[in-house]
Structure 1
């Protein structure tokens, strides 16, 4: 006779998806008609989510299927939809180990506008017809505002900036009017940690790319794992330059490595996120945005010793400002704009040439078709060799590595080309 102990224990059923649990609970309490069927609603409900405390972000298309659209637009039942959103927040809060009130805001990320999915080659073929200012932004959405955010529940702050119609305090003609203190206070600020680095942003005003985590981690280990990188970070005068800073995506990686960072960003909401994020990580930060500050000599602007100095202005001023510093020790220049950062490459090269460091790395971001990556690397290398020849520069350049960060669209990769520039007595 078989011992009861030898019988295998039944496996516990997997935990129910919290969104499914919320849908079922809400359905039984709110839907009196058998149409639509519960199983149809569950099948068309989202299965995934991302938490950026205190917000839950659902993937594109969530609750947009035909059955859901009909249900949520039907009279009094549609008015009860808020109960569903609250239930979803409560269920996900339980799953994440918090209380039912931990997560308070719900939205759908309808994705990056289709125009941003064009490849770099397509942008070049278009001849820059949508270029803004000097071409540093190759899309109409120059500030990368989150135009696809669909708010379901919670107060995300004002839908427009109080000062949007007022003149900017910046002396630069390309400055963007920014939020006032009341706007900043009333806005919802969410946060996350990636690679141990705290980041925060206002989702109504600023995009966040979770997929950049791999590239951030690579930069953090750059001087440890890259055999070609001979420059050390022991000197406290080492600088990095970030020409498209955003909320500090890559700026913070350089800061964590111990470098000081000069960075440029046009979106005032992103600059505020960067400022808050820097403080949250314990780094000193100076924001240069007022007319009287922008007119100060660079020596004075960097003399305070802050880890991060961010300029709220177009990065077309960056090369000129860095030229004022004579020979700064610049180890990295990050050009992180998609679909291509090509318009800033000449300025990035000028910064490398001016650097007192024997080597400077340029990190050049582009969207490239999978079949064109090797060819694009050769084109980039030749572009910089030609620059060196034209200016009789005592530097040479080589694309040392191409990092495939993530797929951006079918057949298109977000690539980072690591251009290694070194002093050389002869340019070939």
Structure 2
């Protein structure tokens, strides 16, 4: 508080004493007394407020309740109290996150599966449990910006690497198709859990429940009961989309480490990418958006149907080769087609053989249907996107990349690697491909980059090793 002049009983102000004015100081050049204060209007005491207090911050708005927490709380408090039900514990154990794949909400693994929640859900009649899940969907819908109503709820329990056929003494088999057998359906009709026949047909596809999403502006769709979806690959998809673009750090007249990758869209047209594990089109669509034609191999018919629907949703022509058609393929006719994407519903072990058939057509000027292309298929990318390792197809990928007519190509090898072993693994892959090269002096090979996509487990990274295969006359990595 600042002190003003002291007012005497007669209303005449007097000079404040030094004790009353510790912050007032009048500098003088001579050691003279200050003149007495002249009479004036009475002074009032003024209270000063610190600057920090004057600018009072507005109170923060209360944080909005988590949508699932709000729905669970509302559901629980409306039920008759029970000494066996610990409401605060149930609320605290409800999931806090979710992902929307229209029209489905997918909860993380372990959601509503604690002992307390398991006991509570087992005590609920089915109609009341359905009311709970409907309330969760309704509350999430209120907070989401989706135009499509959210109607289905499930928990993601991961993709098992091995499957068992149900018998107690049955041996586990590798889950090659990456079927999401652990999906826990909570609400909504996800379609039949079993098929009438050995393989799905058009009626099965039509009756199934399909969801969709957009990543990097690309539409993707799949049947969650039958097909996995890996949200974490979005960064790798984006990297491929920009693979042939100049780096932001590049400047005119100065080479960069990625300069040999740069290509105009006209240079990519009529070149090819090969995806040996196509899935629903995870990386296929990135290559297609670049303008490349894509040859794909996939074993899961549900994934192929998702790829087909996704391609159409993005405006790309697509052809699926399957069944008896595979035994009498005319590769000349396939390549004459105008489809941006061609899918082979078969084992990728056949891919090398198929491309060898193409190589035999090298001198046919009509091989691509435009009459202007003299060379055979020029493979610019080979994608090997399978975990925990895609090594079984690396030799075939190398042979595809080094085929005559392709002066440079990139292999994208996916593998899970311990964080402390990445550099060592890079060296191993370099030596492995040097052994593939053998006495071929027309090609060189370089593991030029390792992309860390996402953590797969503590201390383990999903890595993509970019292997550059180039002719002696083409651009060398810098």
TM-score (norm 1): 0.86
Residue 67 of structure 1, aligned match among 116, 121, 139: 116
What stretches of structure 1 of length at least 5 have no aligned partner? 117-129, 132-138, 165-177
Aligned residue pairs total 389
Rounded to whole Å, the distance in 2 between the matches of 1:13 and 1:346 is: 59
Residue 158 (structure 2) pairs with residue 111 (structure 1)? yes
Structure 2 CA distance for aligned equivalents of residues 353 and 154 of structure 1:
50
In structure 2, the CA distance between the partners of 1:19 and 1:192, relative to structure 1 (3 Å rule), is same
1:417 aligns with 2:458: no
> Are residue 54 (structure 1) and residue 108 (structure 2) matched?
no
SS of 2:381's equivalent in the other structure is strand
Instruction: Quote the residue 1:145 is aligned against.
Output: 179
Distance in 2 of aligned mates of 1:343 and 1:233: 32
Say yes or no: does 1:406 pair with 2:440.
no
Q: Secondary structure at the match of 2:63?
A: coil
User: Using the alignment, how far apart are the partners of 1:388 and 1:6 within structure 2?
Assistant: 72
Counterpart Cα distance in 2 of 1:394 and 1:7: 74
- 1:125 match: none
Q: Would the aligned equivalents of 1:330 and 1:355 in 2 still touch at CA under 8 Å?
A: no
Work out which of the two has the higher radius of gyration on C-alpha atoms and give 1 or 2. Answer: 2
TM-score (norm 2): 0.77
- Structure 2: distance between partners of 1:189 and 1:294: 31
Structure 1: distance between partners of 2:241 and 2:225:
29
Map of 2:197 onto structure 1: 163
- Residue 236 of structure 2 is matched in structure 1 by 215
Question: Aligned runs of 1:7-406 on 2, under 5 Å?
Answer: 7-74=56-123, 76=125, 79-98=127-146, 102-113=149-160, 140-164=174-198, 178-224=199-245, 225=247, 226-235=258-267, 236-326=269-359, 327-389=376-438, 392=440, 394-406=442-454
How many angstroms apart in 2 are the aligned matches of 1:406 and 1:197? 20
The residue number in structure 1 matching 2:365 is none
Displacement after TM superposition at 1:9 (Å): 2.7
Q: 1:75 to 1:216 in 2, by over 3 A?
A: closer
In the alignment, structure 2 segments of 5+ residues that lack a partner are 1-46, 164-170, 248-257, 360-375, 474-478
The answer on whether the counterparts of 1:242 and 1:263 sit within 8 Å (CA) in structure 2 is yes
Structure 1 vs Structure 2 CA RMSD: 2.3
Aligned structure 1 segments of 4 or more residues deviating by more than 3 angstroms: 4-8, 230-233
Is the partner of 1:401 in helix, strand or coil?
strand
Contact 1:158 1:187 survives alignment (8 Å): yes
Task: Using the TM superposition, give the Cα deviation of residue 417 of structure 1 relative to its aligned residue in structure 2, in angstroms.
Answer: 0.3
Task: Please tell me whether the aligned partners of residues 288 and 294 of structure 1 are also in contact (alpha carbons under 8 angstroms).
Answer: no
